Amino acid sequence: MRKREELEEKELRELSLFASKAAVSRGRAEEEEPCPFRTCFQRDRDRIIHSKAFRRLMHKTQVFLSPEGDHYRTRLTHTLEVTQVARTIARTLNLNEDLTEAIALGHDLGHTPFGHNGESVLNAICPGGFRHNEQSLRVVDVLEYHNGRRGMNLTFEVRNGILNHTGNLKAKTLEGQIVGISDRIAYINHDIDDAIRSGVIRQKDLPSGPIELFGERHGDRIANMIENVVMNSDGKNEIAMDREHAEQLNVLRDFMFKNVYKSRSVKKEEDLAKVEVVLTSLYNYFLSHPEKMPDDLRELGKDEGTEIAVKDYVAGMTDRYAVSLYTDIFVPDMTYGYRK
């Protein structure tokens, strides 16, 4: 049996100078007795996988609202694809694969129902706005339970990577930076795949510059993007593509925003309006009836305020639970009158 100390020693001995090492982690907010056979980052990964928030990702929208067919990505399959890309990059650069995996698995735990459209609705109606990366951190810090207490008590490195995985934010570890670029690589490519499958775009519609550089096939594009990240980041204290590849990735991303993410054939006006009605109605209902929320969120509302607790409740819902709950509360039962 390999003990935790042996794994930590192996990291110190074999990983890159730029890698994060479990033995010198900045630790947890509350000290814990170490696991005898798992490093702190492996332990964080396991806590995330066993969380309720992680399981709910399978019923949360990635891009397509209520897609017809079983092969479209969900928020869970997106998370797994990000994890696969990120682990490949970390392994090749001899960085900490366990830390990378933990960050990748936890990076989207705070996403709303109905994808970024749900995020936009909550951002508009919640005081202070709503950002899914901040909510992901809140999920692991406050909303999940571990050993009967609030929060998973994850390490600083995992928490920092989750918070800083998106936009212009930059994680303090290279492993966190890997997850940020892997997120973009994964979603652009799998969303192209789903958009072609749905008939929203055709292969020949894709811009020529990125396709000539990265390749026509899904697997080729991902492999070439990973290769460029690795070649351009090897021996450096930063994770990035070179300028040409980064520019062409942005061309592909801009194309997807114009033709898929904001396309009315993907997200019809009436569907977007329904998302707004469902989430806004639920938010306002529970603001007025906090006693109808689950016990733990009612208690949280007493400590942090009802608006925060309601935001947490609505953001944590899956697509189908939000629709079902909306129906129960607001849609009349034609036989027995209103359901509630």
At residue 78, what is the residue type? H
Give the per-residue pLDDT at 60.
92
What integer best gives the mean pLDDT of the chain? 93
Q: State mean pLDDT over 301-320.
A: 97
Give the per-residue pLDDT at 68.
56
Least confident of 197-211, 274-288, 300-314, 325-339: 325-339
Counting other chains too, the contacts that 257-263 makes at CB distance below 8 Å and 24 or more residues apart are 259/195, 259/200, 259/201, 259/205, 260/63, 260/191, 260/192, 260/195, 260/200, 260/201, 261/63, 261/116, 261/191, 263/200
Percent of the chain exceeding pLDDT 90 equals 85
Q: State mean pLDDT over 207-233.
A: 97
Model-level pTM?
0.94
User: Is residue 133 over pLDDT 60?
Assistant: yes
Q: State mean pLDDT over 24-47.
A: 97
Give the per-residue pLDDT at 261.
85
Give the per-residue pLDDT at 70.
61
Q: State mean pLDDT over 85-109.
A: 98
